[in-house]
Amino acid sequence: MSEEVACIRENNRFLLKLNRRLHRDEINDVRRTVTNCMTKENVSEIARKLKTRAPITAKELGQLKNALMDDPHNIQVVLSVHGALRGLIRELTGANVKKQCAAAGCICNLALGDTKACTIISKAAGTYLVAAVDNLVTELAVTCVWTLGNLAASRKKVCNILTSQGALSKVMELHTNEELQDACLYALKHFVYQLGDELKPEHLQATLNTLSKLQLNVETSEALFILSCHSDFPDLITEELLLKLLEDFIRCMEHHLCTRREQELVYVTRTLANSNVCGYILNYPNVKHVCELCKKVLSVDNVVVNKSIMWLLGNIYKACGESYRLLVLDVTVVV
C-alpha cells in the first residue's frame, strides 16, 4: 500500500473514531427525556439491580443510559459489576418495549468504551443485537445497529467476533426505513475500515452491490472510498457502479465550483483513482466535459481537492495509451 493511501486511511480512521462519539452525542441529546444528575453511587446501585434481577424501571434504565454518555468512567463502573451486562441483555430481550429501547441505549453507550469493554460486550450481546435489527420497533432496531457500529469501531478482533455472529451480513442489507438504513451505513463503514484487506471478497462484493443501490452522498461515497483501498476492489467494481461514480464526479465538481464544498468530491475522486479502470473513464461519452470541469476545479485554490484530482489524472496518465496522454496533459497544464 502506498504512503499516500496509508496517510488517507489514517486520516479516515481519525474521522470515523470522532464520528463514533459525535453521532451518539447528537442522537442522545435529541432523545434525552430526563434530566440526569447521576452520581457514581447511583450508577452502581442500578448496576446491582441489574445483577440481582431486582425490579427496574424504564426511567432508571434511561438515567443509566444518559449517565454512561455523560461520564465515560461510568462505563467501567457498570462493567465491573459482574452480571450487570447480562441484566441489560435480559431487559433488551424482554417484553416491555420501553425497557428494551432503554436497555439498548445503555448497551450502545457502553460500546463507546475501550477495546476490552467492546470485546466483552460483543461476546455477550452480539447475537442479541443482530437479532434485534429485524425488530419492527424502529428505535430499538436503529439503536442496536448503532451499537454494532460502535463495537466494530473499537478493533478488528471485535469485528471478527461480530462477523461470525452475522452482524456484517445484517448491516449490509438494504432497508426502506431511512433511519435504519443510515444507521446500517454508519456501522458498515466501521466494519469495512477495521477489516481492511481482511474483508472477504464475497463481503466486499455484497457491500458494493448494496452501495450501488443507494443514492451517492457524503456517507455512501466515504464508504466506497474505504472499500476502494481493498486490494480486490478493482476486480469487483461493476460497470453500473463506475457509471454512477462518474456521473456523481461531474455533479460534485459542478457543486464544488458553486459552493466550495469538497468532502464528497474528494471521496468520489479517490475512489475513481483506486478503481484502476482508466480505459472506461477515458471512453466515457462525456469525457470532454469531465476534462473541462477538472480544469476549472484545478484553477480553484484547494489543496485537498486538487491533490485528489491530480492523483486520479496521474493514474490515468500512467495507464493510458499515447493518444490519451495529451488529453491528460491538457487538463493538468492549469496547475
List per-residue pLDDT tens for the chain, 335 residues long.
455 555 555 555 545 554 554 554 554 444 444 445 788 999 999 999 999 999 999 999 999 999 999 999 999 999 999 999 999 999 999 999 999 999 999 999 999 999 999 999 999 999 999 999 999 999 999 999 999 999 999 999 999 999 999 999 999 999 999 999 999 999 999 999 999 999 999 999 999 999 999 999 999 999 999 999 999 999 999 999 999 999 999 999 999 999 888 899 999 999 999 998 877 887 788 888 888 899 999 999 999 999 999 999 888 878 776 655 555 666 655 44
Residues 6+ apart with CB under 8 A from 177: 138, 141
pLDDT confidence of residue 23: 52
pLDDT confidence of residue 38: 82
pLDDT confidence of residue 305: 94
pLDDT confidence of residue 307: 93
> Is pTM beyond 0.75 here?
yes
Please state, in angstroms and as integers, the Cα–Cα distance from residue 264 to each residue in 6, 13, 203, 281, 305, following that order.
19, 17, 24, 19, 10
